[in-house]
A and B are shown apart, each in its own frame.
Chain A
């Protein structure tokens, strides 16, 4: 038996975790699950891709009518229609990914309970699939921006930074809501309400500079706000105030940055804590 022991080395098995089974395997599973999810969305329905573009476009149409014909915010903001479309698509990514993520782990119940499976892969796959969606939507959006007559600037090259920052916070939130859902089933409702609140508390429908001072201070705590302001000044309107300008200095920006970092750290902590016990709670 000692010869056998020498031949194969015993390694400790620590049970399920966020990335159990190693990076390589997690990555493979991630690709596989994301591609499968993607196929389900695009080949399961008759019009597939058309829907994923049609949804933000329809929302855009309605909001554009309301905010240029009824409330007339649009009149005060240069290039309002493109800004609105651009913002809706960006925020749509955050909202769709996090809301789908809430029930994602429970939705993959059989996989979680019947196989060795790194837990993190499930919400991550949701975010990736939605990211792919975002990519497809952005093609339409950028076509629209060019047709509208906005000239490309060198700052367009910085756009991936915004997508990356948005991707990170979306992943963090998805990790929190998906790992807590098996424990607290009303996470789904809570999050759908919170996501709606966030939609209005983020400069999506309006640019920050037209918001009254006191309210602006509150909105500026939202870590998504500076991202949307950056996106606006880099892509749509180079003359628009960036996050530093509208905050009146770099110091007030420390709050949303701190919140951003806090959410990310919290996500890692919560997920690592919950991951080993998810299968028991399904």
Chain B
């Protein structure tokens, strides 16, 4: 075991009226500050074993970044203990501490030391870093004269060099172009083969499934699951594409609502109109959804997306109120969305989300998707890609041109 976390709690106090200055404090010395306690993390416990690629997944605001910062000794946990074996290096941002006034050589050393190397190690590895970044000819050039591409190369090279027993990686590292993200992941894969432990914080289920041995799912600061990454992916999808309420230990709590509308109920039905959770491959997907307007919706548009469990959207469509109906749905009124969708999906897990959009108020967009439901398509059809389409391609053997 290289990381052991037990009962970690973290909350941030967010003042309703923030007192940022002594003057305000002096002006109201007796006012008790009203704080809103934001529970970023509640009772998180997990273990990471040596040589493991461990994922921490959750949506924005689920507490994953706070957890990362606690593991990296940037924040202090309010309660609980973290124990670690070996040296840890956090990779939260590329090129931390880079200074435009210093030369590439000086920056590489500075950044390396900040990443956890000793000054001597950083000096020793310098040539290698510059070679890897293909910047040997520019090592005495000040960083302000570097192109952004060169700067990223340098930062990346330092990161590759900064070796540690445990590497904490934030997903923001991999933003940017796909090739660069791929290169980053290659480095981490290679490190893992060398027996290092890697903890990756992400919201991308694809990465978790392909890279991680095990994963933990965080939701609203709570720990939903720790275990197999496949199962973690399924849990994560269920959390994000399931109905509007999540049941946990007998307690139902509401998922974050859209400000435009909330889901009253969302159900998949079979041909006879009975609720069901599965659809047979090729059978139409029948929906029955009831939404309640949370504010006046003028000329609302309902945009549906059907996504595979790794978050890839397979297709989408939209519907609007039919002519002859009132143009505005008054707050508190309901909208029923029912009908069937042609089903070309290959067997697997899917989810449906709906964006509710108003018109007329300066092109108001949907604020966030309403998770409607998740369902399974079952059947024996081959699972190539995401959809099966009818095809008419025949194979014919031909004699060679020479004969």
- A interface list, Cβ under 8 A from B: 1, 4-5, 7-16, 20-21, 25, 28-29, 31-32, 36, 39-40, 43-44, 110-117, 184-187, 190, 276-277, 279-280
Task: With A28-B118, A114-B92 given, name 9 new contacts (CB 8 A).
Answer: A7-B50, A8-B2, A11-B85, A13-B71, A36-B110, A113-B74, A116-B73, A190-B22, A279-B74
Residues of A within 8 A of B73 (CB): 13-16, 20-21, 116
Contact B84–A13 (Cβ < 8 Å): yes
Per the 8 Å Cβ criterion, residues 86-122 of B in contact with A are 86, 88, 90, 92-93, 96-97, 99, 101-102, 106, 109-110, 113-116, 118-119
Contact B83–A186 (Cβ < 8 Å): no
Residues of A within 8 A of B92 (CB): 113-115
Contact B96–A5 (Cβ < 8 Å): no
Is B23's beta carbon under 8 Å from chain A?
yes
Nearest A residue (CB) for B109: A32
Residues of B within 8 A of A1 (CB): 1, 49
A110→B74 CA distance, assembly (Å): 11
Contact A110–B102 (Cβ < 8 Å): no
Given the known A-B contacts A4-B50, A28-B118, A32-B113, are A186 and B22 also in contact in the complex, defined by CB atoms under 8 Å?
A: yes
Contact A10–B83 (Cβ < 8 Å): yes
- B interface list, Cβ under 8 A from A: 1-2, 4, 12, 20-23, 25, 49-50, 69-77, 81-86, 88, 90, 92-93, 96-97, 99, 101-102, 106, 109-110, 113-116, 118-119, 165
20 contacts between A and B (CB under 8 A): A4-B49, A9-B85, A11-B83, A13-B73, A13-B84, A28-B113, A28-B119, A36-B99, A36-B106, A40-B101, A113-B69, A114-B74, A114-B96, A115-B96, A115-B115, A184-B20, A184-B21, A187-B22, A277-B76, A280-B12
The list of the 10 closest CB pairs from A to B, nearest first, reads A15-B76, A8-B85, A276-B76, A10-B83, A186-B21, A13-B82, A114-B92, A114-B96, A114-B93, A116-B73
Residues of A within 8 A of B101 (CB): 39-40, 43-44
Contact B20–A185 (Cβ < 8 Å): yes
Residues of A within 8 A of B25 (CB): 184
Q: Label chain A's interface by main secondary structure.
A: helix
Residues of A within 8 A of B90 (CB): 114-116
A112→B74 CA distance, assembly (Å): 7
Q: Tell me the smallest distance from the CB of A104 to a CB of chain B, in Å.
A: 14
A184→B25 CA distance, assembly (Å): 10
Q: Tell me the smallest distance from the CB of B362 to a CB of chain A, in Å.
A: 34
- Among the listed B49, B50, B88, B97, which residue makes an inter-chain contact with A110, where contact means beta carbons less than 8 Å apart? B97
Contact B75–A185 (Cβ < 8 Å): no
Residues of B within 8 A of A186 (CB): 21-23
Nearest B residue (CB) for A10: B83
Residues of B within 8 A of A25 (CB): 118
Nearest A residue (CB) for B76: A15
- Among the listed B72, B82, B88, B118, which residue makes an inter-chain contact with A12, where contact means beta carbons less than 8 Å apart? B82
- Among the listed A12, A15, A184, which residue makes an inter-chain contact with B70, where contact means beta carbons less than 8 Å apart? A15
- Among the listed B75, B99, B110, which residue makes an inter-chain contact with A15, where contact means beta carbons less than 8 Å apart? B75
Contact B76–A14 (Cβ < 8 Å): yes
Residues of B within 8 A of A20 (CB): 73
Residues of B within 8 A of A116 (CB): 72-74, 88, 90, 116
A69→B119 CA distance, assembly (Å): 54
A280→B90 CA distance, assembly (Å): 17
A82→B76 CA distance, assembly (Å): 51
A5→B12 CA distance, assembly (Å): 34
A158→B84 CA distance, assembly (Å): 48
Contact A12–B81 (Cβ < 8 Å): yes
Residues of B within 8 A of A7 (CB): 50
A40→B103 CA distance, assembly (Å): 11
A184→B19 CA distance, assembly (Å): 8
Residues of A within 8 A of B88 (CB): 116
Nearest B residue (CB) for A279: B74
Given the known A-B contacts A32-B119, A117-B114, are A16 and B76 also in contact in the complex, defined by CB atoms under 8 Å?
A: yes
A13→B4 CA distance, assembly (Å): 10
Nearest B residue (CB) for A275: B76
Contact B74–A16 (Cβ < 8 Å): yes
Nearest B residue (CB) for A12: B83
Nearest B residue (CB) for A37: B99
Residues of A within 8 A of B102 (CB): 36, 39-40
A185→B116 CA distance, assembly (Å): 31
Residues of B within 8 A of A277 (CB): 76
A79→B109 CA distance, assembly (Å): 48
Nearest A residue (CB) for B111: A115
A185→B73 CA distance, assembly (Å): 24
Residues of A within 8 A of B118 (CB): 25, 28
Contact A10–B113 (Cβ < 8 Å): no
Contact B96–A110 (Cβ < 8 Å): yes
Contact A8–B75 (Cβ < 8 Å): no
Contact B1–A280 (Cβ < 8 Å): no
A270→B69 CA distance, assembly (Å): 23
A32→B107 CA distance, assembly (Å): 11
Q: Tell me the smallest distance from the CB of B3 to a CB of chain A, in Å.
A: 8
Nearest A residue (CB) for B81: A12
Contact B84–A10 (Cβ < 8 Å): yes
Which interface residue of B4, B22, B74 has the most chain A CB atoms within 10 A? B74
Residues of A within 8 A of B4 (CB): 10
Residues of A within 8 A of B22 (CB): 184, 186-187, 190
Q: Tell me the smallest distance from the CB of B5 to a CB of chain A, in Å.
A: 9
A117→B85 CA distance, assembly (Å): 19
A276→B72 CA distance, assembly (Å): 12
Residues of B within 8 A of A15 (CB): 70, 73, 75-77
Q: Tell me the smallest distance from the CB of B308 to a CB of chain A, in Å.
A: 34
Nearest B residue (CB) for A2: B1
A7→B23 CA distance, assembly (Å): 56
Contact A5–B113 (Cβ < 8 Å): no
Nearest A residue (CB) for B85: A8
Nearest A residue (CB) for B122: A32
A29→B70 CA distance, assembly (Å): 21
